[in-house]
């Protein structure tokens, strides 16, 4: 829950990591069911510390897309029921806008224009927020997203899900120069499938004797060096893409948002590559998916465009960024 768009009153996140870890990735049907089971508890917990509870709420924001249809429908139905039942306005918000606004929420001095590198499990984008409600996408996800590449490479190396934190952990003691990996550079886009495939071949080329029955490297030294080499290449691709976007739009203030922004190597590389720029990276809890960022983007949307008509459709491939 937020007051005036950027004062955080409460934030409750129900993680599904344990549920999906057993499958090595998100299972859509399980995700939607878990949303259904957990939603009321999470909303109650978010309102518990707020005097008046629901009576203190002026408007409801909900994610309309992009994402898994089942999850979006569960959330939108619940939010619509709550809003209509209490006569409150409702706004359907883009998940991408939420990530872009997580920086605005995290830093009380930040105002547009700023350029956001949005790196999550489903997206790798450069978005410039020109003014509130007006965003332009300067680079978009071509195939695998950055977080997806971390998750898939972790699997190839026999590390747990989610792969980002696991790779960061073992990479800390690895040699990033041991395994040379390609960097893909495309004008106006990010591609991570080539890098992921290169790791797959690198593992295969170790030979059967060096691999476990599951096909992952036996030697923890090799795992650490491969993780470090991959992280290095991934960060390099991201920072180069951000550099190209920054040159194109000429905006001086940068933000790194989305789950992969939790990566220490990425944070440090962005700060190092843009010495004269202001770089905002939200705290970990606002980088990974959370409802507070949706409320922040929703507050601006409500202010600028008014409420949505209850009953609006979800959009699993919504591209809107503000
Ligand atoms: O934004 P997010 O919470 O969910 C989506 O919208 O996708 O991002 C989740 C992604 C996962 O792919 C996860 O592996 C990655 O963020 N991630 C990280 C780190 N922590 C989470 N990637 C790299 N390094 C990390 N420390
Ligand atoms: Zn996200």
Q: Residue 154 maps to which CATH number?
A: 3.30.420.40
| C-alpha of 104 from chain center | 15
Same domain for 194 and 66, yes or no, is: no
Ligand 1 pocket test target in 65, 102, 154, 260 with most atoms within 8 Å of CB: 260
- For the chain, give the mean pLDDT: 95
Same domain for 31 and 83, yes or no, is: yes
Report which ligand 1 atom has the smallest distance to the Cα of 289: 3
Same domain for 87 and 126, yes or no, is: no
Statement: residue 26 has pLDDT above 90 = no
Same domain for 97 and 142, yes or no, is: no
Statement: residue 72 has pLDDT above 90 = yes
Quote the pLDDT of residue 129: 98
Element (DSSP H or E) covering residue 43? helix 28-47
Q: Which two tokens stand for residue 147?
A: 């977080």
| pLDDT band at residue 17 under the 50/70/90 scheme | confident
Quote the pLDDT of residue 18: 83
Once rounded to an integer, what is the mean pLDDT over residues 4-18? 91
| pLDDT band at residue 25 under the 50/70/90 scheme | confident
Tokens 């170790």 sit at which residue?
206
Q: Which two tokens stand for residue 9?
A: 């009153």
Statement: residue 16 has pLDDT above 90 = no
What is the total count of domains within the chain? 2
Same domain for 120 and 262, yes or no, is: yes
Instruction: Tell whether 311 is covered by a domain.
Output: no
Instruction: Tell whether 318 is covered by a domain.
Output: no
Q: How far apart are the first and last CA of the chain?
A: 19
Element (DSSP H or E) covering residue 270? helix 264-273
- In the reported structure, the alpha carbon of residue 303 is separated from the centroid of ligand 1 by a whole-number distance in angstroms of 30
Instruction: Tell whether 276 is covered by a domain.
Output: yes
Q: Whose CA is nearest to atom 8 of ligand 1?
A: 259
Instruction: Tell whether 274 is covered by a domain.
Output: yes
pLDDT tens-digit readout, 211-240: 999 999 999 999 999 999 999 999 999 999
Element (DSSP H or E) covering residue 99? helix 95-106
Same domain for 77 and 182, yes or no, is: no
Statement: residue 24 has pLDDT above 80 = no
Is 137:129 a contact under the CB 8 Å cutoff? no
Instruction: Tell whether 187 is covered by a domain.
Output: yes
Same domain for 276 and 172, yes or no, is: yes
Same domain for 6 and 128, yes or no, is: no
Same domain for 143 and 268, yes or no, is: yes
Looking at the chain, how many residues does it have? 322
Statement: residue 130 has pLDDT above 80 = yes
Same domain for 134 and 232, yes or no, is: yes
Quote the pLDDT of residue 21: 81
Q: Which two tokens stand for residue 158?
A: 């026999």
Once rounded to an integer, what is the mean pLDDT over residues 252-264? 96
Q: Which two tokens stand for residue 31?
A: 């995700």
Same domain for 93 and 193, yes or no, is: no
Once rounded to an integer, what is the mean pLDDT over residues 284-304? 97
Is 74:36 a contact under the CB 8 Å cutoff? yes
Is 297:92 a contact under the CB 8 Å cutoff? no
- In the reported structure, the alpha carbon of residue 88 is separated from the centroid of ligand 1 by a whole-number distance in angstroms of 33
CA distance 283 to 199: 30
- In the reported structure, the alpha carbon of residue 164 is separated from the centroid of ligand 1 by a whole-number distance in angstroms of 6
Instruction: Tell whether 321 is covered by a domain.
Output: no
Same domain for 259 and 202, yes or no, is: yes
pTM score of the predicted model: 0.94
Q: Which protein residues touch ligand 1 with a CB less than 6 Å away?
A: 120-122, 147, 150-151, 162-165, 168, 258-260, 262-263, 288-289
| C-alpha of 182 from chain center | 24
Residue 251: give the domain boundaries.
114-281
Regarding predicted confidence, which is higher, 30 or 153? 153
Instruction: Tell whether 316 is covered by a domain.
Output: no
Percent of the chain topping pLDDT 90: 92
Quote the pLDDT of residue 97: 98
Instruction: Tell whether 80 is covered by a domain.
Output: yes
Q: Whose CA is nearest to atom 23 of ligand 1?
A: 164
Once rounded to an integer, what is the mean pLDDT over residues 188-205? 96
Quote the pLDDT of residue 322: 94
Q: Which two tokens stand for residue 230?
A: 């991959």
| pLDDT band at residue 253 under the 50/70/90 scheme | very high
CA distance 312 to 94: 13
pLDDT tens-digit readout, 306-318: 999 999 999 999 9
């Amino acid at each position: 829950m937020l007051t005036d768009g950027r004062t955080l009153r409460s934030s409750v996140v129900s993680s599904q990591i344990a549920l999906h870890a057993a499958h090595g990735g998100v299972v859509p049907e399980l995700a939607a069911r878990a949303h259904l089971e957990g939603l009321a508890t999470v909303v109650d917990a978010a309102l518990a510390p707020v005097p008046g509870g629901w009576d203190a709420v002026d408007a409801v924001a909900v994610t309309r897309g992009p994402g898994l249809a089942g999850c979006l429908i569960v959330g939108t139905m619940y939010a619509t029921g709550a809003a209509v039942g209490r006569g409150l306005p409702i706004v359907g918000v883009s998940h991408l806008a939420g990530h872009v606004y997580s920086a605005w929420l995290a830093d009380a001095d930040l105002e547009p224009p700023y350029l956001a590198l949005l790196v999550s499990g489903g997206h790798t984008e450069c978005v410039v927020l020109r003014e509130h409600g007006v965003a332009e996408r300067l680079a978009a996800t071509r195939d695998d997203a950055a977080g997806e590449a971390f998750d898939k490479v972790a699997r190839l190396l026999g590390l747990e899900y989610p792969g980002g934190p696991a790779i960061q952990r073992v990479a800390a003691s690895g040699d990033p120069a041991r395994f040379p990996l390609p960097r893909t550079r495309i004008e106006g886009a990010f591609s991570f499938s080539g890098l992921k495939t290169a790791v797959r071949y690198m593992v295969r080329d170790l030979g059967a004797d060096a691999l476990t029955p599951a096909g992952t490297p036996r030697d923890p030294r090799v795992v650490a060096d491969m993780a470090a080499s991959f992280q290095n290449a991934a960060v390099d691709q991201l920072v180069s893409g951000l550099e190209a976007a920054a040159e194109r739009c000429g905006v001086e203030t940068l933000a790194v948002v989305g789950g992969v922004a939790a990566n220490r190597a990425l944070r440090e590389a962005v700060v190092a590559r843009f010495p004269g720029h202001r770089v905002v990276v939200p705290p970990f809890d606002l980088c990974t998916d959370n409802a507070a960022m949706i409320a922040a983007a929703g507050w601006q949307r409500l202010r600028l465009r008014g409420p949505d008509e209850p009953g609006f459709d979800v959009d699993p491939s919504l591209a809107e960024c503000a």
